[in-house]
Structure 1
Amino acid sequence: MCITFFKTARSSLDKYKLILLNNRDEHLLRPTREMHWHDGILSGVDEQDHARGTWTGINRNGRIGMMLSITQTQESKIPNAPSRGGIVNSFLNAHNTSDMVESLLIMAGIYNGFQLVCLEQNQFGLYEVRTLTNQQVENIEVCQWNDEYHVISNSPPSKPYQKAVYGKQLFSERLQYSDEMTVDEVFETLLEIAVNRKQCYPDAQLQFQTRNTHEYNRPLSAIFIKYPEGTREYGTRCHTLITIDQNNKVSVLERRYLPLESTWKDARFEFSINGN
């Protein structure tokens, strides 16, 4: 499971071109390297997967890719399906992202459930949003979204989990005056959203996709996932926060959980897109 929130500017008059929050939900002990620069990409790295991919990454041009799984039962998964782990890196490194996404579209059916979220600046310097979802949709296609506020989890945007519906309301309310906020104030607000534990349950879409028990599903229905002690070593283990202002200054904060130390650790990055 994962959930991502982002706000895209409507015009150059907005203070921030982009405000983004991503929660990564994963097995707590899955080997993962902290966010760092590698091959022109700033991201964490999933060290268990042979593709050494990521869930959220940004490159020097300000292009952002995010990978969210589409929740499915174990029985419905394709045995020996190719890894989804490297898809974000492929998008971030692509010379032509449209060609890359179209190629992925052709091959999408061979993967287990995924949702790729693509964020790129257009000729006016504003961020455009595309998604490609390969399950729980009538047609596998590239979709473009023009909303200002977006919240996407592990179901298609057209079939949102209840926590995504709740999260979008919370996100839009808390950031409606973001033009008046400093980066640190934006990050403080995003972190408050990131640790929200309200369980949005029952959830028919979540139940349909998991086909599991209420005890299993209830923790998954919150923005911040935490199972009762001793029941399941799975939950929210990383928050990624990004702001990009109208001068193309990028600020990034990763807050990740260190399970062996039972503590959280921050890493902060700042850079300018294209070195400007």
Structure 2
Amino acid sequence: MCITFVKTARSSFDKYKLILLNNRDEQLFRPTQEMHWHDEILSGVDEQNEARGTWTGLNRNGRIGMMLSITQTQDSKNPDAPSRGGIVNSYLKAADTSSMMNKLAKDASMYNGFQLVALEQNNHGLYQLQTLTNQQVNDISICEWDDEYHVISNSPPSKPYQKAVHGKRLLRERIQESNKMTVDQIFDELFVIATDETQCYPDTQLQFQTQNTDEYNRPLSAIFIRYPEGTRQYGTRCHTLLTIDNENQVSVLERRYLPSESTWQDARFEFVLNRN
């Protein structure tokens, strides 16, 4: 499970071109490298998967990719499916993102459930959001979304989990005055959202996709996931926060959970996007 929150600027007069929050939900002890620069990509790295992929990454030109799974039952997964882990890196390195995503759409049925969230600036310097989803949809195709606020989780945007609906309300409330806010003020508000433990349950879409019990589903129905102690070693283990202002100044904060120490660790990055 993961969930992504995005606010895109409506005009070049907005203070921030992009405001983003991503929660990564995963096995708490899955080997993971912290966010760092590698091969011109800023991201964390999943060390367990041979693809050494990521869930959220960006490059120096401001292209951003996020990988969300589409929740499915264990017995419906193909154990021989190719890894989804490297898809974000492929998007960030692509010379032509349209060609890359069109090819991915053709090959998408080979993979277990996934949803690529792709963000790139258009000719006006504003961010355009696209998604490519391979399950729970009638047609595997690239979708463009023009709303100002977007919240996407582990179901298609057209079939949102209730926590995504709840999260969109929170996002609107918390950062609607973003033009008057500093980066640190925005990050403070995003952390309020990132750590929201409201269980949005029952959720018929979540139940349909998991085919599991209420005890299993209830923790998953919250933005911040944590199972009761002594049950599943699974939950929210990383928050990625990002702003890009109208001068192309990028601010990124990763807060990751260190389960062996029961603490959270921050990493902060500041840079200016390359001029194309």
TM-score (norm 2): 0.99
Query: Structure 2 CA distance, aligned partners of 1:230 and 1:16?
Result: 42
Query: Structure 1 CA distance, aligned partners of 2:5 and 2:173?
Result: 13
How far is the alpha carbon of 1:79 from its aligned partner?
A: 2.0
CA deviations on 1:145-191 (whole Å, 9 max, x unpaired) are: 00000000000000000000000011011111000000000000001
What percent of counterpart residues are identical?
A: 75
Equivalent residue runs for 1:133-152 within 5 Å:
133-152=133-152
Query: Structure 2 CA distance, aligned partners of 1:120 and 1:76?
Result: 33
Equivalent residue runs for 1:1-276 within 5 Å:
1-274=1-274
How far is the alpha carbon of 1:78 from its aligned partner?
A: 1.1
Query: Structure 1 CA distance, aligned partners of 2:49 and 2:64?
Result: 21
Query: Structure 1 CA distance, aligned partners of 2:51 and 2:172?
Result: 35
Query: Structure 2 CA distance, aligned partners of 1:31 and 1:79?
Result: 20
Q: Which amino acid aligns with 1:14?
A: D
How far is the alpha carbon of 1:275 from its aligned partner?
A: 6.2
CA deviations on 1:40-85 (whole Å, 9 max, x unpaired) are: 0000000000000000000000000000000000111112100000
CA deviations on 1:121-145 (whole Å, 9 max, x unpaired) are: 0010000011000000011110000
Q: Which amino acid aligns with 1:78?
A: N
- Tell me the matched-pair count: 276
Q: Secondary structure at the match of 2:139?
A: coil
Q: Secondary structure at the match of 2:65?
A: strand
Q: Which runs of 4+ in 1 moved over 3 A?
A: none
Q: Which amino acid aligns with 1:117?
A: V
Query: Structure 2 CA distance, aligned partners of 1:57 and 1:79?
Result: 26
CA deviations on 1:100-123 (whole Å, 9 max, x unpaired) are: 000000100000000000000001
Query: Structure 1 CA distance, aligned partners of 2:80 and 2:219?
Result: 29
Q: How much is the aligned-residue C-alpha RMSD, in angstroms?
A: 0.7
Query: Structure 1 CA distance, aligned partners of 2:103 and 2:51?
Result: 18
